[in-house]
Structure 1
Amino acid sequence: MRRVAVTGMGLVSPLGHSAAEAFDAARAGRSAIHRLEAPFTHRLAAPLATTVQFNGADHFDPPKLRMLDRVSQFALVAASRALDDAQAQLTDAERCRTGVFVGTGMGGINSIDEGYQTLYADNSDRIKPFMILLGMYNAPAAWIGIENKFTGPNLTYSTACSSSAVAIGEAWLRVARGDLDVAVAGGAEAPLAFGSLKAWEALRTLAVIDQANPSASCKPFSKNRSGMVLGEGAAMLVLEPWERAVARGATIHGELIGYGLFTDGGHITRPSVEGQAAAMRAALQSAGIEAAEVDAINAHGTGTQANDSVETAAIKAVFGERASRIPISATKALHGHLLGATSALECVMSFMAMQHSVALPTLHLDQADPACDLDYVPQVAREGVPIRTMLSSSFAFGGTNAVLALRAAPG
């Protein structure tokens, strides 16, 4: 297995449009959660979201824009930024050995929702001619391949909240095995359509509004947590063999060293301690490291009652008495839950945290919960924390638990 370097990182996120901008916002504790403004918000119980300041017309000409759902727009721009960051000047032969791996939980839901509005609410048959192309789940990955003439594997993963962790992990496997020389991997999500928000609301997993401070409505690991806040955006990484990156003088942001995947077999929405712990152990085994070598964890940390207590117990099961000494960050309190894109954004935040020796804060943790009693870096970033190795965890509806093992680039 070859070592795999991360040489490019690109974002379209609620916290910013570059890794540095998003990291600075997270480090400063600037939550992107806000009251959602849209014509339908009066019909939502808790109109909260994290949104991206983004206008597709600034990036695509009108004929192209008509074929792109918001999720594909995000994906294309994030991938372009990642490739620019990697300074990837690929030959035609190298493009044939470049793959695209994208995770998304809800695909082109905005276009699908709009189509249903036309059909059922407006009682019209005037569906957009590109509706299938706009709504299909593999459109973001396909467009990245088309725009860049990448003819290697082009794969889309939809495993709910772990989608982009799976995409990055599967890309890592292909590069590490020598199947590919370059991979663009990450996730994209644009789930803030009315129908989507009402469906999530019906599932009773969304946070209630903190009336004193709406931006504090997502409270991972706090006793008064009430749920998650949905967000939109995309994050992409460029992966390549370590030797190739060094040979061409690339800036290396860090190294992917392992990937653990384990599926709960008990319930479609209820997480299990055993499944989450098994995924973490699988990541350690894949990376060839011991639990004692992990310096920090980026938690799934959704802010739901069920997940946060289960995740706490799973970390204890893997790390034993040392669990209480590991700094654990839950950044969804800052950027919201981007569903299929969250894992990729959190992976980028983890690499930035290692580069800057910072444990990012878990905001709004203002009430201690006996069931969540680990070191969650409450409220304020912790500076001067030497972090060489991290785990970034993603646990999903459907039971697909994915954990990425990350290592800092040599100083």
Structure 2
Amino acid sequence: MSTFSAAITGIGLVSPAGTGVDANWAHVVDGEPAAGMDPELDELPVRISCRVPGFSPTEAGLRGARQWDRYTAFAIAAAYEALRHAGLDPREWEGSRVAVLIGSGAGGTGTLERQHQTLLADGPADVSPLTLPMGLLNMAAGQLAIELGATGPCLAPCTACASGASAIGIGRDLLRLGAADIVIAGGAEAPVTPLYVSAFARMRALSRNRDPGTASRPFDVARDGFVLGEGAGVMVLESEEHARARGAGVLARAIGYGASADAHHVTSPHPEGSGATLAIRAALADAGITGADIGYVNAHGTSTPMNDRTEAGVIRSAVAPEVPVSSTKGVTGHPLGAAAAIEAAYAALAVRYDLIPPTAGLTDPDPEIDLDLVFKAARPGRVGVALSNSFGFGGQNTALLIAA
């Protein structure tokens, strides 16, 4: 199979590291954790979260936001930034050649939880008729397509924490198949809600650290769980030919995608990382390169004991022991289905600027994790090709390869 490169011509980001690509990149390179005490979680077992700071759909100019869940507003704000960067105007394109893929693991959980409370307190007559149009998992993709007049394929991949990468990988395949000229792909999530925080806390997946600055600390010997985050990451993808024909600037290229299933356990990764290894090797084969060609790994790196240790072994065997590795979840926490797209964007920026962001919160690396971990400060140097790993509940794994 011949290799295929999709041009990344636009990126949009709304995350705990800020709103907009410039704010995100500055924050992530600086390596300052975005976690904080969350007053909305005061009565819950875990009170720390990573919220998007100061986000207002109204101030962002999102006209229909009153009929959208927060995760949809994140997706549409990020998409509009990506389109501006790409120099695309929806009023000027052929909508049937534009595909929209926005992945999510939770969808409009805030809407669904609030309306369930209304049902219990006030009865069915008071449940909003907008509950499902706001709450369903496909609605960020659907509302974005409506906003943009994009009448090509519209998909909402749900592969838990790998959802955003699934969207980007499938979007790249649509370009390769000739099913679209422009793909708007990414992930969005707004899961910092009482139910999700309580459920993750009951699973003991969340950090119980009382200090927000050190709660999310991927690969640290004292890590004890992740911090729940939110946000969206969106990319504009085009074939090289389409981007060149319209004179678009190319930020980076998506050159490989791999996906797999652990077929092992609903929440725990395979102890040998076999599924993750399959995904990485599939991405390498797709791109026609080897692990030795990778200059940086943006790790899934959740800050949970088992994930970080398992992923480290996978990176050593499937890529190379000496490759530089960092996890940006030290800054953003874990935005679930949006994480993979946000981190793919960071990988693209690392390639573009030849700068590897550090792992925030990491001060004392786990001696069982024998990797070249980038922490304390960003590391300049030629990146060339970056690998972005994403692994989700259900054993769903993705690997994206981003090149200059």
Moved more, 232-241 or 363-372: 363-372
How does the TM-score come out when normalised to structure 1? 0.94
2:260 corresponds to which of 262, 279, 300:
262
For residues 83 and 258 of structure 2, what CA distance do their matches in structure 1 show?
26
For residues 305 and 370 of structure 2, what CA distance do their matches in structure 1 show?
14
Shift in Å at residue 70 of structure 1? 0.7
Moved more, 389-398 or 359-368: 359-368
For residues 93 and 80 of structure 1, what CA distance do their matches in structure 2 show?
15
Residue correspondence of structure 1 range 342-381 to structure 2 within 5 A: 342-381=339-378
- Conservation of the 8 A alpha-carbon contact between 1:312 and 1:373: yes
**2:55 aligned with 1:54, yes or no?**
yes
- Conservation of the 8 A alpha-carbon contact between 1:96 and 1:152: yes
Number of positions where the alignment pairs a residue of Structure 1 with one of Structure 2: 399
Shift in Å at residue 125 of structure 1? 3.7
- Counterpart of 2:16? 14
Encode CA deviations 1:308-329: one digit per residue, 9 max, x unaligned.
010011112213xx41x21101
Structure 2 spans left out of the alignment, 5+ residues:
none
- Conservation of the 8 A alpha-carbon contact between 2:102 and 2:157: yes
- Counterpart of 2:399? 403
- Counterpart of 2:203? 203
- Counterpart of 1:97? 97
**2:328 aligned with 1:331, yes or no?**
yes
- Counterpart of 1:35? 37
For residues 8 and 381 of structure 1, what CA distance do their matches in structure 2 show?
24
Structure 1 spans left out of the alignment, 5+ residues:
none
Gap change, CA 1:45 and 1:381, over 3 Å in 2? same
- Counterpart of 2:80? 80
Moved more, 41-50 or 87-96: 87-96
Moved more, 256-265 or 347-356: 347-356
- Counterpart of 2:117? 117
How does the TM-score come out when normalised to structure 2? 0.95
Gap change, CA 1:5 and 1:37, over 3 Å in 2? same
- Counterpart of 2:237? 239
Encode CA deviations 1:270-289: one digit per residue, 9 max, x unaligned.
10211111111111001111
Gap change, CA 1:249 and 1:365, over 3 Å in 2? same
For residues 39 and 356 of structure 2, what CA distance do their matches in structure 1 show?
32
- Conservation of the 8 A alpha-carbon contact between 2:33 and 2:361: no
Instruction: Work out the percentage of aligned pairs sharing the same amino acid.
Output: 37
- Conservation of the 8 A alpha-carbon contact between 2:216 and 2:226: yes
- Counterpart of 2:304? 304
**2:224 aligned with 1:226, yes or no?**
yes
Residue correspondence of structure 1 range 244-323 to structure 2 within 5 A: 244-272=242-270, 273-319=273-319, 322-323=320-321
For residues 236 and 346 of structure 1, what CA distance do their matches in structure 2 show?
11
**SS at 1:249's partner residue?**
coil
- Conservation of the 8 A alpha-carbon contact between 1:168 and 1:185: yes
**SS at 1:283's partner residue?**
helix
